[in-house]
Amino acid sequence: MIIVTGAAGFIGSNLVRALNARGERDIVAVDNLSRADKFRNLVDCEIVDYIDKQEFLANLDRYRNARLIFHQGACSDTMETDGRYMMENNYRYSLALLKHAGAHRVRFIYASSAAVYGGSDRFVEDPSAERPLNVYGYSKFLFDQIVRRRLAEHSGQIVGLRYFNVYGPGEAHKGRMASVASHNFDQFLADGKVRLFSGHDGWPDGGQSRDFVHVDDAVAINMYFYDNPGRSGIFNCGTGRAQPFNDVASTVVDTIRRLRGEAPLGLQAQIDQGLLEYVPFPDALKGKYQSFTQADLTKLRASGCAHRFMTVQEGVSAYVEWLWRKRG
């Protein structure tokens, strides 16, 4: 039996699909469907059971024979201000699962986040580089510290994956927390233009740069550790390449133009023709925003993982084509 928490969510549902492709059917999906529209992510997945996240926590002993827990469930809203909720949902819940995994020798692969780096300009898996800017980042940071202490005494596999900016199929339910690629696609179809933040804190318009990683790549890293039970630790899950938001927006626009039979324009022509515009940087994000992220992949590569990650141009173009097909 394999357990996937957050199974109806973005990365979780793609992970279930990848497990199905490996022939895994004995999968228990754990999630919170208070936002019922997430069920759509599981429609084409094969599972043996679904259980609510709170019921699962209250009945952990039933799952002592699980082979592996993929713990993907969390509140990922970086603007959430209820610290008690965030810590209970992200930290305490994760801690209970970690204790269960340790007691019953269950392999444990969980979702951490690049938000632990916060205001840092270094993105290496070391406490000296970890400076979370919000309670979401802190909830992930604190759990990672517990994991570091447990790694030396835990006999089974524990892997934490620090996801950078993941985008791709299955994120529609995330609303405002969906990727910039998703928002840009919707904006261009609705308004004929996309919007990005103007320059702030020394960055030019649309020049803030992130490590954007396609969900297929994030899933591939999970599957690498699934295939290698002897590997443990906390690892960055990003491309190792920072690209500006301008690259995302420009790729969205030109991919849609191509799908419409129109010629690509490139960034400057898109700006000149009003297809891309910049809006003032929000006051609410000042001091809480990561203007630059770029995963250091040294530790991941040293583990033996040689996976090739898609560029923004490759991944966003593929995602836009998928969204276009979904429109019918």
Inter-residue contact 283 to 193 (CB < 8 Å): no
Tell me, yes or no, if 38 is annotated catalytic: no
Q: Which of 110, 136, 289, 319 is catalytic?
A: 136
Q: Which of 85, 174, 193, 299 is catalytic?
A: 174
Both tokens assigned to 4: 């996937």
Cα Rg for the chain, rounded, in angstroms?
20
d(CA 22, CA 26): 12
| Residues ≥6 apart with Cβ < 8 Å to 22 | 223
Tell me, yes or no, if 136 is annotated catalytic: yes
First to last CA, the chain: 36
Exposure string of 239-262, with b = 16+ CB inside 10 Å and e = fewer, is bbbbbbbbbbbbbbbbbbbeeeee
Which three-class secondary structure state does DSSP give residue 73? coil
Q: How far is CA 186 from CA 143, 144, 207, 323, in A?
A: 35, 35, 21, 10
Q: How far is CA 67 from CA 3, 210, 302, in A?
A: 8, 35, 25
Q: Which residue has the tokens 């089974």?
A: 156
Q: Is the dihedral of CA 54, 215, 163, 225 positive or negative?
A: positive
d(CA 313, CA 328): 23
Q: Which residues are catalytic?
A: 136, 174
